[in-house]
Amino acid sequence: MFFTLQSQNSNYANSIPFVGHKKGEAVDQAAESIGYNSDKMTAHDTAGFIIAFAHMNFQDNPDLEKAFDNVQNGDLNITSYPEYDFGDYNVKAPAQGAVYVVTPEVGYVVSDINHPQRAQITFVDSKKGATQPVYFRALAKKVAHSSCKKDVQNIGKKVKVSVQKKNNRQSSDKNTKSGTEDTSKLSWNDSKEEKLSDFMSDFGDKMDQDCDEYTGDEQLKTRAGEEYPDIFKDGKMKLVDDSDKDADESESIDIGWDPELKKKYDYQVVSIFNYNDDDAEQHITYLFCVHDNQPIVLVDQTTNGNYIAVKETANKDVKSGFADIINGDDTDND
């Protein structure tokens, strides 16, 4: 098996025949017949094929059937993890793969997220374990020759796919639909925003950066033309780090403006500061967020391209300053 499964029910593992492929057979024709370029398929595109295939083959699984129904209404959020617990089954993806959580009870593993056209797909159920792996190219071919062909693009457009780079070993009875944990322990208010504003003013003086603060009145516009917080609605923000050699193929993160910490984004942005340099398109945008009930500061210095690349700030002063403020006294002085 190409991924680690702590325990497996052999009955479910044998419930779907292994779908193989002939040497040299490609997903190109199947994908292109539905309108995709197999070399440029995103996680949303592959999810369209995989959810359609699951609908065809697992109609006795209420969780997968509900997922198929929900996505028609644009109400399906899939989150990927390197490792996840489905009930008693601990599933760990291979080095180039990911575990995709459709609901707390069911999901699937993609063996190579950067090259889905040659990946294997394995479905996982919290009660029954894992199926036999299915080559994506064979899966796509089967869907393309079925009545579900018409559903693939619709699913790909409506499904929301976000990525978590940390393991999630939580029990399956927690709701992972949004990919977030309970954030009730942390809070944000006007008093904390004022403290952060003072901190960033001092930090700006130290770094020779005159930062503008988003106050809710007008969009905060960067030198590169991005407008915060409206830019979050485009869903084109990707989390990268120095080890990402091919950031273009990274997946978008679920991030949004949420100063009251009441929405279900993976990254809940409570405050935004931006510094525009004198040079064309050069800027540093600080996104102060809550992620997995922990404070995190993301930085955007993107100047061009089809997506916004953000990474966790390496500045220890900004990290500790924000952490001290958000974990501090909840008293609002207003």
Peptide bond into 295 cis (omega under 30): no
- Are 146 and 243 part of one and the same domain? no
What stretch of H or E contains 80? strand 77-81
278 in the same domain as 213: yes
Regarding whether 157 and 17 lie in a shared domain, the answer is yes
Report helix, strand and coil shares of the chain as percent, to nearest 5: 30, 25, 45
What per-residue string of b and e applies to 20-42 under the rule 16 or more CB within 10 Å gives b?
ebeeeeebeebbeebebebeebb
Residue 63 lies in a domain: yes
On whether both 159 and 196 belong to a single domain, the answer is no
| pLDDT tens for each residue of 192-221 | 999 999 999 999 999 999 999 998 888 999
Q: What is the DSSP letter of 123?
A: E
| Residue 94 pLDDT level (bands cut at 50, 70, 90) | confident
pLDDT of residue 332: 54
Mean pLDDT (the chain, rounded): 81
Q: State yes or no: pLDDT of 305 exceeds 50.
A: yes
Q: How confident is the model at residue 331 (pLDDT cuts 50, 70, 90)?
A: low
279-299 tens-digit pLDDT: 878 999 999 999 988 999 999
Per the document, the length of the chain is 334
Confidence of residue 32 (pLDDT cuts 50, 70, 90): low
Q: Is residue 95 part of a domain?
A: yes
Same domain, 142 and 15: yes
Domain count, the chain: 2
Nearest 5°: the CA angle 163, 316, 281 is 65
On whether residue 175 sits in a domain, the answer given is no
Residues 196 and 292 placed together within one structural domain of the fold: yes
Evaluate whether residue 169 is within a structural domain.
Answer: no
Interval 65-90 mean pLDDT = 89
Domain span at residue 132 reads 4-163
Give counts: helices (H), strands (E), the chain.
8, 19
The more confident residue out of 168 and 110 is 110
If DSSP codes are grouped into helix, strand and coil, which group holds residue 201? helix
Do 159 and 195 share a domain, yes or no? Answer: no
In a domain? residue 332: no
When pLDDT is averaged across residues 11-22 and rounded to a whole number, the result is 35
Instruction: Please report whether residue 170 resides in a domain.
Output: no
Establish if 173 belongs to a structural domain: no
Highest-confidence segment of 70-79, 100-109, 304-313: 100-109
Question: Could you tell me if residue 144 is inside a domain?
Answer: yes
Does residue 24 share a domain with residue 110? yes
Q: Are residues 194 and 155 in the same domain?
A: no
Q: How much is the pTM?
A: 0.48
Q: Mutual orientation of helices 316-326 and 190-207 as an angle, nearest 10°?
A: 160
Is the domain of 197 the same as that of 149?
A: no
pLDDT, one tens digit per residue, over 130-184 is: 888 888 888 888 888 888 888 888 898 899 988 887 666 543 344 433 333 343 4
Residues 211 and 154 reside in one and the same domain: no
**In this structure, are residues 286 and 200 in contact, taking their beta carbons and an 8 Å threshold?**
yes
Q: Which residue has the higher pLDDT, 137 or 311?
A: 311
Same domain, 309 and 230: yes
